[in-house]
Amino acid sequence: MGVADLGLPVDVPSTALFTDHYELTMLQAALKAGTAERRGVFEVFTRRLPHGRRYGVVAGTGRVLDAVENFRFDAGVLGYLRERRVVDEPTLQWLADYRFSGDIWGYPEGEVYFPGSPILRVEGSFGECVLLETVILSILNHDSAIAAAASRMASAAGGRPLIEMGARRTHELAAVAASRAAYVGGFTSTSDLAAGFRYNIPTVGTSAHAFTLLHDRERDAFQAQVDSLGRDTTLLVDTYDVTEAVRTAVEVAGPELGAVRIDSGDLLLVAHRVRQQLDELGARDTKIVVTSDLDEYAIASLAAAPVDAYGVGTQLVTGSGHPTASMVYKLVARAESADPRAPLKAVAKKSSGGKTSIGGRKWAARRLDADGIAEAEVVGTGPVPAELAGRQLLVELVKGGEVVGREPLDAARERHAAARAALPLSATQLSRGEPVLPTEYATEGSGN
């Protein structure tokens, strides 16, 4: 049984309209001018990291591959475009046969990136590549923002488990993507069953305050939960009086009680008091889970507290203050004719206001110091220096229109943990600062 069998709204039959109107009008004009079939290279990059962040995290790559595969203009979509007169009939006929047939290279999911990193490189005809701009940016900007916040929270947690609990704080479909990105960034589980079903992420959950309020006594609520879910369940202890609730919880479940959850108050102080009380009651193995509008700073402030796991919602699914990664999709090279053998010419936007870009098809490599720690992100065009040949970052994701880079989500999660560990220690500091690695440019020609 798959997602479609259950009718869950976590997939769409076509991603073709996840685009902006002007992508199609550009296509129409290029078709009329005879330039749509010129070979082109588009790159995704960001000019800067969110203020104070030390590194970015690539997330959403797997979803991008799904989106490219499903970018199809079926009869219903074409009918809508025809009815609204978005484009003319020759363009509609071109769209009816649309299948991306080019190549895509990119940083593998879970890898870290820095300003100027060519996170994704899309190559093919101008017409087929330009249509993918919006959906690619939509996915990468959202997912990478969530993964970066998750990564910072995972660093602050110091190995303690993190539960993603943000489904009720964002759009229902964004919640599924956010859970996936959080898992890449280091979270261990989610409360969102749609995310668990779609991406096989472990799901957890027990009860809310409403369950306690439903019953005549807190003891009755605890007893009902233990009878149903077993002694190793997690009991929510801050509906009324925390001290009394902890005592009741241990009386009902015994020292085998799995965990208690604290969702309000001075978490640092309350966690210490609850730990002491649990130990005195003989429940030394009972864990403490804390929730309540946590972010990376709150998690870091609880480093010395006897907390065993954190549940995070609002701050995670909103990127902890930075809901987008501010990535852009720019044409960096194009051929001067539709001849597939025509060489590529570097092109770049030149304007004031910090929106300039560097032309040419890029490669990227990460230079290490003598201790194997990353010291620079090197981005260039032309030949790759021999000393960096084994440190290149881009991998092949789509070849001739066929996806070749799909991988299990756990691979991206493990890659991120390794990539973050290979950065200088200052990468995990929560204080504001510059990117932990400088970006160096080595531009020689445009490449073909």
The DSSP result for 299-321, as a single string, is HHHTTTS---EEEE-HHHHTGGG
The three-class DSSP label of residue 54 is coil
Q: What percent of the chain has pLDDT over 90?
A: 92
Residues of the chain with CATH 3.20.20.70: 159-315
Q: Is the pTM of this model over 0.85?
A: yes
Residue 434 region by backbone torsions, left for phi larger than 0, else alpha for psi between -120 and 50, else beta = beta
HSE of 226 in the Cβ direction (CA atoms, 13 Å)? 23
| Residue 445 in this model has a pLDDT that exceeds 60 | no
**Are the beta carbons of 122 and 132 closer than 8 angstroms?**
yes
How high is the pLDDT of residue 112? 98
How high is the pLDDT of residue 13? 67
The whole-number average pLDDT for the span 243-252 is 98
Q: Where are the extended beta strands (E) located within 109-188?
A: 112-113, 120-125, 162-164
pLDDT averaged over every residue in the chain? 94
Residues of the chain with CATH 3.20.140.10: 9-146+322-443
Q: Which CATH number is correct for 9-146+322-443, 3.20.140.10, 3.40.710.10, 3.40.50.40, 3.40.50.2300?
A: 3.20.140.10
> Is 159-315 CATH 3.20.20.70?
yes
- The string of pLDDT tens digits covering residues 275-303 is 999 999 999 999 999 999 999 999 999 99
| Residue 241 in this model has a pLDDT that exceeds 90 | yes
- The string of pLDDT tens digits covering residues 324-354 is 999 999 999 999 999 988 999 999 988 766 6
HSE of 302 in the Cβ direction (CA atoms, 13 Å)? 31
| Residue 7 in this model has a pLDDT that exceeds 70 | no
| Residue 138 in this model has a pLDDT that exceeds 70 | yes
How high is the pLDDT of residue 147? 98
- The string of pLDDT tens digits covering residues 14-36 is 899 999 999 999 999 999 999 99
How high is the pLDDT of residue 5? 52
Reported as a pLDDT band with limits 50, 70 and 90, residue 46 is very high
| Residue 1 in this model has a pLDDT that exceeds 60 | no
| Residue 134 in this model has a pLDDT that exceeds 90 | yes
- The string of pLDDT tens digits covering residues 84-122 is 999 999 999 999 999 999 999 999 999 999 999 999 999
| Residue 447 in this model has a pLDDT that exceeds 50 | no
How high is the pLDDT of residue 12? 60
Those residues whose C-beta lies under 8 Å from the C-beta of residue 102, and which sit 6 or more positions away, are 122, 123, 124, 125, 128, 129, 398, 400, 401
How high is the pLDDT of residue 444? 64
- Reference 109, options 406, 439, 366, 421; nearest CA is 406
